[in-house]
Copies of this chain bind each other. A is one copy, B any other.
Amino acid sequence: MKKTLLLAALSLALGACAQSGNGRLTLAEQGSFAVGGTVKTSEGRYDANPAALKGNNNDFWNVYQASTQAGGQTLHGDHAAVFYQIPERARSLPLVFLHGYGGSMRAWQTTPDGREGFQNIFLRKRYPVYLVDQPRRGQAVRSTVGSEIKATPDDQFWFAQFRIGSYPNFNQGVAFPQDQAALQQFFRTITPDTGPTDAAAITGSMGALFDKIGGGILVTHSAGGAFGWLIAGQNPNVKAVVAYEPGNFPFPEGEVPPVMENRFGNIAPMKTDADTFRRLIQIPIVIYFGDFIPDAPDGTQGGDQWYMRMKLAQDWVNTVNKHGGKATLVHLPKVGIKGNTHFPFSDLNNQQVAEHLAGWLKDQGLDK
């Protein structure tokens, strides 16, 4: 009886404790850093007394201009910005998230209707998460090359491209919230570039990130996927790649398919070198595509574009596996996960999408 009481009390106490791993998130560590990047230096000699150079105008920005025109100064740019969180009792391989075109780390932090994104979902599954803003994007906005940002209204173009629907109509059965507040939140995640896209800066900074953290699993989205293949192909610390609707795929010399003709934009498949391809066939790769991708071009922007890119994905998976690789293409509706846009990880069913990925990671032994 007393033993029972003791056990009951213990179980009560430990139960209250364990709860903190449920609704709550328990972190061992979190922080932020910049990684990679270059330094640009201006001609001239730094003068610590710009007041002596500036002429008669005491305006602060006039002094700034006098100082920078005298030169001899540096600009640190083209790095990636990283926010990371490591949960308690963490699994050994972190997930490293790289956004797509027009995206930022916010893509993984939330959903249009404010539910939990993959950041929280995979922290709860005890994976360390590293969220990246690629060079010249978001918090990594500082570019060594000047640029003009255009404020071009284009929400409706992307609404179609991302297979949410044909504005203002939503695709029937789409797993995207259809109230205006959620749609506005979605549009407000769009993050323009602040410099020309520099593939070397992106793959270089991501490589430096994997050098810093050691082994990890690279999770990419869309245009980030095209860089992702190069990052994984150049750095042995990338132990696996998870790619949500990557836009392109690197084929080895002699096996590159012809340009795919498409009224909404052609696609020229990427070509890669033998070393990069050799590494890609050594690691597990899973590629996910969502819903509303027809079996043949259907004359809509979203349908035609993603029909073509998913077809290219299948070609690439076949090529990789023919060379002994371990790549899988998952078309989500085929495994019963329906209604997904170009953003499966933040759609209404993102928990289900996450469960599929968690299962794949387990199957591959990447969840230790």
Q: Does A359 contact B (CB under 8 A)?
A: no
In angstroms, Cα B117 to Cα A10, docked, is: 36
| Any B CB within 8 A of the CB of A172 | no
Closest to A83 in B: B109
Report the minimal beta-carbon distance from A328 to chain B, rounded to whole angstroms: 27
Does A143 belong to the interface (CB within 8 Å)? yes
Q: Which of A23-31, A214-222, A270-278 contacts B (4 or more CB under 8 A)?
A: A23-31
Interface residues of A in 228-242 (CB under 8 A from B): none
Q: Is the CB of B149 within 8 A of A194?
A: yes
Give the residue name and chain of the B residue nearest to A20 (CB).
Answer: B26
Question: Is A48 a contact partner of B110 (Cβ separation < 8 A)?
Answer: no
For the complex, give the distance between the alpha carbons of A133 and B27 in Å.
24
Q: A24-B28, A109-B32, A167-B48 are in contact. Are A153 and B13 (CB under 8 A)?
A: no
- Residue of B31, B37, B167, B265 near A60 (CB, 8 A) is B265
Decide: B46 and A167 in contact? CB cutoff 8 A. Answer: yes
Q: Find out whether the CB atom of B151 lies under 8 angstroms from the CB atom of A149.
A: no
A 320-339 to B, binary, CB cutoff 8 A, 1 in contact else 0: 00000000000000000000
Tell me the chain A residues, 185-226 only, with Cβ under 8 Å from chain B: 185, 187-192, 194-195
Residue from the list B10, B23, B26, B194 in contact with A141, Cβ < 8 A:
B194
Q: Mark interface residues in A104-124 (1 if CB within 8 Å of B CB, else 0).
A: 111001100010110110000
Q: Interface centre among A23, A76, A185, by most B CB within 10 Å?
A: A76
Which residues of B lie under 8 Å from residue A246 when comparing CB positions? none
Q: B142 contacts A141, CB within 8 Å?
A: no
Q: Do A59 and B266 form a contact, CB below 8 Å, given A17-B20, A48-B301, A114-B33?
A: yes
Contact B30 A88 (CB under 8 A): no
Please tell me if the beta carbons of B264 and A156 are within 8 angstroms of each other in the complex: no
A63 on the B face (CB < 8 A): yes
Contact yes or no, A146 B149, CB < 8 A? yes
Tell me which of A20, A106, A188 has the highest count of chain B C-beta atoms within 10 A of its own C-beta. Answer: A188
Inter-chain contacts of A139 with B (CB < 8 A): 104-106, 133, 138-139, 191
Interface 1/0 per residue, A122-159 and B, CB below 8 Å:
00000000000100011101111111111111111100
B-facing residues in A1-59 (Cβ within 8 Å)? 2, 5-6, 9-10, 13-14, 16-17, 20, 23-28, 30-34, 37, 40-42, 46, 48-51, 54, 58-59
Enumerate the 4 nearest inter-chain pairs by beta-carbon distance, A residue then B residue, closest first.
Answer: A60-B265, A17-B17, A34-B188, A51-B263
16 contacts between A and B (CB under 8 A): A9-B10, A20-B88, A24-B88, A31-B116, A32-B110, A51-B264, A58-B261, A73-B155, A73-B156, A75-B154, A79-B188, A81-B188, A139-B139, A139-B191, A147-B151, A149-B194
